[in-house]
Structure 1
Amino acid sequence: MAASSSKTVIFAALAGNTAIAVTKFAAALFTGSSAMMSEAIHSTVDTGNQILLLIGLKRAARPASETHPFGHGLQLYFYTFVVAILIFGLGAVISISHGLDRIRAPEPIANPWVNYLVLGLAILFEGGSWWVALRAFNRERAGRPLLRAVQDSKDPTIFTVLFEDTAALTGLVIAFVGVVASQAFDLPVLDGVASVAIGGVLAVTAAFLAFETQSLLTGEAADPATRQGIAALAEAEPGVVGLNDLRTMHFGPAEILVALSLDFQDDLSAADVENTVARLEHRIRAAYPQAGRIYIEAQSLAGHAAARDALMARDGPDGRVPGAPGATTSPPTPA
């Protein structure tokens, strides 16, 4: 997903959440509804989250430097992880705490029609933001199942906004039911129960987003199809006897580091090896433009096995890298 598409989704959510947060706070203070106050806190947190995502996009776009030779793409993953923490810390915890206070000391809701009006408008505006995020996410997932698309996605901004908006719509429905039920049954405590339920929804959303983002933040490989495609290009290159090792890592949604260890024919000259490496790098970049940095080492199979055995002796047995037949998890030795 292009950065411009991500920004469009974020700006749509930011505009909607800002307007909704102000309206909800006014309604909560006017009516004294605990559920409405939880929703106001939720929308305020979401507004701050959109700002953080925009900061993350801007910082991730900075060019590589001496201190950050692989660029700043991981900044986006860091800020997305912070968003998940804020959803839990400020949204879920405060909503649950506020709801428990209201359960212990329930108070009737004054002028409930204000809540109905605000909740109706909020559902309308939040639904518009949710629809923008859903359309963008559907274009990215290309028919894949929802959870699979989230797990495979390397751009967390789209699915973060989508899940935020989904949680927001769910919270609005819960708040509406809580206000209606507290009035219909003359049980003000149900307003507090709705607030706790909203906090629960936020906690689940935060946990899911944190789990998905931490995988990207700690160094996630390219998708299996990309790894297998790069391996096939390397093994098909004239002069290459075998692929010893293949490593990939995302440094941003559209930035992949590729490291290859190749066994070349023994009769190739140094110039032939250099030409083969240059040709292979060109073919990989043509097929996978996101492969921004490619490092290829020339190493015999025996030499690679010796390096692997030495690493295993130091660190213990290791596994194999999916997508590269025979490849191990030993790191490529710099050429």
Structure 2
Amino acid sequence: MAGNSKIAIYGALAANIGIAVVKFIAASITGSSAMISEGIHSTVDSGNSLLLLLGMRRSQRAPDRGHPFGHGKEIYFWTLIVAILVFSLGGGMSIYEGISHLQHPEELKDPFWNYIVLVISMGFEGASLLYAVREFNKSRGKLGFWKEVGMSKDPALFAVIYEESAAIAGLIIALLGVFLGHYFGNPVFDALASILIGLVLVAVAITMVKESKGLLVGESADRAIVEGIYNLVSSDKDVETLYFPLTMHLAPNEILLALDVEFRKDMTVENLFGGIAKLEDKIKKEFPTVKKIYIEAKNFGGRDRPWMIEATD
């Protein structure tokens, strides 16, 4: 899945760099505020793709003494930075540009190049979005699409989906602004389109901040995974009592699992360790994203003494 996520980001990066250049050229020819906002939007998206790639690379570094659980959460940090840039540079500058053109309206020129650039941009952005959606659908659950996107643990995919969706919405708004501005001969429509594009980017940025924050502070695995682990372990013949599993995402495809288990009181030490090893194998086979498992075995041999067992790759 990581490789597919990278391809989605590379596709978005290539599309946004080319589109940003063309949008700014069209804006300089036509004087459209909405086109300037769209150029800013594509430029910010290009930088965001680079930051996501940086985050993915740094998150794959091996564990060390200072980070014994690895650097997987770094991808969540860079996703937060991307969200901040979308909010400040994308949304803020687009709103500023629109307000500036409301205060100092400029006569719009021939919109021909605006239409050409916007339609071509829709094609590139749409292709990038469709690829990201297709890759996301390979692993999503049975809930609604946007609900699943909100629950996703892979920023590389959900960031592209959010950004490309915002890009399509922005292009539609820009197209309407340019058309209405020339149809009525009033540049106010073009300036309002720029403000609306900024508001769309602000809304997307706030959504991404919310998603990134949940993952940074330690978000649990999906409910289906947690319940599946509970059912798998509690059905084991050696387990008398299992408390609710505790999970946390260390990376999009790396889950930390902590289990509090009461095994049969008649088990020997050898049987206990054998039972724990068996549980570890069963869990990792059924749920391959679970990479680190900590099992606390209680009430062993009729004594209320915890045995902390670590099971890792």
Q: Which residue is 1:79 aligned to? A: 78
Report the Cα offset of residue 233 of structure 1.
2.4
Indicate conservation of the 8 Å contact 1:245/1:262, yes or no: no
**How far apart, CA to CA, are the structure 1 residues paired with 2:112 and 2:65?**
60
Q: Which contiguous aligned blocks of 4+ residues in structure 1 show a shift greater than 6 angstroms?
A: 301-304
Pick which of 149-158 and 189-198 moved more. Answer: 149-158
Indicate conservation of the 8 Å contact 2:62/2:70, yes or no: yes
Distance 1:239 1:135, change over 3 A: closer
Indicate conservation of the 8 Å contact 2:230/2:244, yes or no: no
Q: Which amino acid aligns with 1:252?
A: A
Indicate conservation of the 8 Å contact 1:107/1:189, yes or no: no
SS in 1 for 2:89: helix
Distance 1:264 1:140, change over 3 A: closer
Distance 1:50 1:75, change over 3 A: same
1:199-240 Cα distance to aligned partner (Å, 9 max, x none): 011111111122122211211111122112212222222332
**Unmatched runs of 5 consecutive residues or more in structure 2:** none
Pick which of 223-232 and 169-178 moved more. Answer: 223-232
**How far apart, CA to CA, are the structure 1 residues paired with 2:263 and 2:61?**
37
Report the Cα offset of residue 5 of structure 1.
0.7
Question: Normalized against structure 2, the TM-score is what?
Answer: 0.93
Q: Which residue is 2:279 aligned to? A: 280
Distance 1:212 1:10, change over 3 A: same
5 Å matches for 1:252-291? 252-291=251-290
Q: Which residue is 2:63 aligned to? A: 64
Q: Which amino acid aligns with 1:72?
A: H
Q: Which residue is 1:325 aligned to? A: none
Report the Cα offset of residue 124 of structure 1.
1.8
Report the Cα offset of residue 143 of structure 1.
4.8
Distance 1:48 1:303, change over 3 A: farther
5 Å matches for 1:216-227? 216-227=215-226
RMSD: 2.0
Q: Which residue is 2:137 aligned to? A: 138
Distance 1:6 1:178, change over 3 A: same
Indicate conservation of the 8 Å contact 1:259/1:294, yes or no: yes
**Unmatched runs of 5 consecutive residues or more in structure 1:** 308-331
SS in 2 for 1:241: strand
5 Å matches for 1:22-101? 22-101=21-100
**How far apart, CA to CA, are the structure 1 residues paired with 2:227 and 2:35?**
51
Distance 1:333 1:27, change over 3 A: farther
Report the Cα offset of residue 245 of structure 1.
4.5
1:206 aligns to 2:197 (yes or no): no
Q: How many residues align?
A: 308
Question: Normalized against structure 1, the TM-score is what?
Answer: 0.87
Pick which of 4-13 and 231-240 moved more. Answer: 231-240
**How far apart, CA to CA, are the structure 1 residues paired with 2:177 and 2:43?**
20
SS in 2 for 1:71: coil
1:153-173 Cα distance to aligned partner (Å, 9 max, x none): 211221211121111111111
Q: Which amino acid aligns with 1:171?
A: G
SS in 2 for 1:140: coil
Q: Which amino acid aligns with 2:102?
A: I
Percent identity between matched residues is: 44
1:113-158 Cα distance to aligned partner (Å, 9 max, x none): 2212211221122122122122222223255311221133211221
Q: Which residue is 2:227 aligned to? A: 228
Distance 1:287 1:202, change over 3 A: same
**How far apart, CA to CA, are the structure 2 residues paired with 1:57 and 1:303?**
46
Q: Which residue is 1:319 aligned to? A: none
Report the Cα offset of residue 112 of structure 1.
2.0
Q: Which residue is 1:321 aligned to? A: none
**How far apart, CA to CA, are the structure 1 residues paired with 2:127 and 2:7?**
13
Distance 1:279 1:157, change over 3 A: same
Distance 1:277 1:21, change over 3 A: same
1:170 aligns to 2:169 (yes or no): yes
Indicate conservation of the 8 Å contact 2:297/2:307, yes or no: no
**How far apart, CA to CA, are the structure 2 residues paired with 1:267 and 1:136?**
49
Q: Which amino acid aligns with 2:2?
A: A
Q: Which amino acid aligns with 2:268?
A: S
Pick which of 115-124 and 133-142 moved more. Answer: 133-142
Indicate conservation of the 8 Å contact 1:137/1:158, yes or no: yes
Q: Which amino acid aligns with 2:41?
A: H
Q: Which residue is 2:247 aligned to? A: 248
**How far apart, CA to CA, are the structure 2 residues paired with 1:334 and 1:38?**
57
Q: Which amino acid aligns with 2:118?
A: L
Q: Which residue is 1:150 aligned to? A: 149
5 Å matches for 1:104-115? 104-115=103-114
Report the Cα offset of residue 251 of structure 1.
0.7
**How far apart, CA to CA, are the structure 2 residues paired with 1:267 and 1:142?**
41
